[in-house]
Copies of this chain bind each other. A is one copy, B any other.
Amino acid sequence: MSTTGTNRSCTLASRPVGMSKAENFSSGDAAIEAPGDGQFRVKISHISIDPAMRGWITDGPSYIPPVQIGEVMRAGAIGVIEASNNPKFPEGAAVTGMFGVQQYAISDGATCNLVDLSLAPAERWLGGLGMPGMTAYFGTMDILKPKEGETMVVSAASGAVGALVGQIGRLHGARVVGIAGGPEKCAYVVDELGFDACIDYKNDDVNAGLKEHAPKRVDMYFESVGGDIGNTVFGHMNTFGRVAVCGLIAGYNATSPEGLGYNPLAQRSMLVNRLKVQGFIVFDFASRYGEGAKAMVGWMAEGKLKMKEDVRGGGVDAFPDVLNELYTGGNFGKLVLAV
């Protein structure tokens, strides 16, 4: 087990105000470490780029402590074990975990999962069969609880999570309307993923689109964005509707408590329509990932779930730029950085 060579990593250099910039991160090289007792070393092949990352670098109370200045940037990743002192994680096995934005990681295996690269390529284990897949599965099945004949609206519909949420809704007999940015993404959502309709928020009026495509109003809303789009959907909710709050990407880069939350009309809709609005974090369902993965693999095998990844090159140094693609809507499918 070789420990020569270097491990290039991307660390947090300063806390961003508003959108993160290249200068908020710093790349550097360190020696490749040897695993200690009960540990293994993984050579990382792909790093997951997720909307939650913006929250992880904000200093404030959240569901996990923020990344500290000088610390390797937190990230889910996948790679192959090349040295191990842990019999549960043998050399040569593929493994996912929170390995960070770097080329090599040392782990004791906590919150790691061995995966089978013969069932799906590495990048998919960070997408539809990884954290985004579990987010979609539990947010849809446990919070939205789709019923035959109901109408579901999915924001960020061409994204890693949204694409799956809508397909799971369709599997359960719901009418599914996506919201995505640009004609190419909307065409993909309808033609490839099989949504009933998709509203292009960059070119069309979302309110008018909902009137047209959700004529029986909206029973389920998968909220990933907040902002104007969120407020507009709240204006179309049906009595006893459910809203799964998975993300609020429109507000992640906001610099003040003022600005757009849920406006008075959205707030009033919660009351008048007796909505159930529930925030969730995928980690809350960690004990049930097995159930989720089994269902998702089954639907994928039956051809009922399509998954798309957007793999970018450039390695660890490209991380800051690739992260910003998420917030400008530049990605198309689950965003993954190849190391």
By a beta-carbon cutoff of 8 Å, the part of chain A in contact with chain B is 55, 61-63, 226, 239, 245-248, 251, 254, 256-268, 270-281, 284
Contacts and interface: CB of A to CB of B under 8 A. Distances in A.
From A251, A267, A272, residue with most partner B Cβ within 10 Å: A267
From A245, A260, A266, A281, residue with most partner B Cβ within 10 Å: A245
What copy number does this chain have within its complex?
2
Contacts of A274: 63, 278-281, 284
29 contacts: A55-B272, A62-B272, A63-B272, A63-B273, A63-B274, A226-B264, A247-B271, A248-B264, A248-B268, A248-B271, A257-B264, A257-B265, A260-B264, A261-B261, A261-B263, A261-B265, A262-B262, A262-B267, A270-B277, A270-B279, A271-B279, A271-B281, A272-B279, A273-B279, A274-B278, A274-B281, A274-B284, A275-B278, A277-B278
Nearest to A278: B276
Given A247-B271, A257-B263, 13 more contacts: A63-B273, A226-B267, A245-B270, A246-B271, A254-B264, A257-B265, A259-B263, A261-B265, A270-B277, A270-B278, A271-B281, A272-B279, A277-B277
A261 B272 contact: no
A261 B251 contact: no
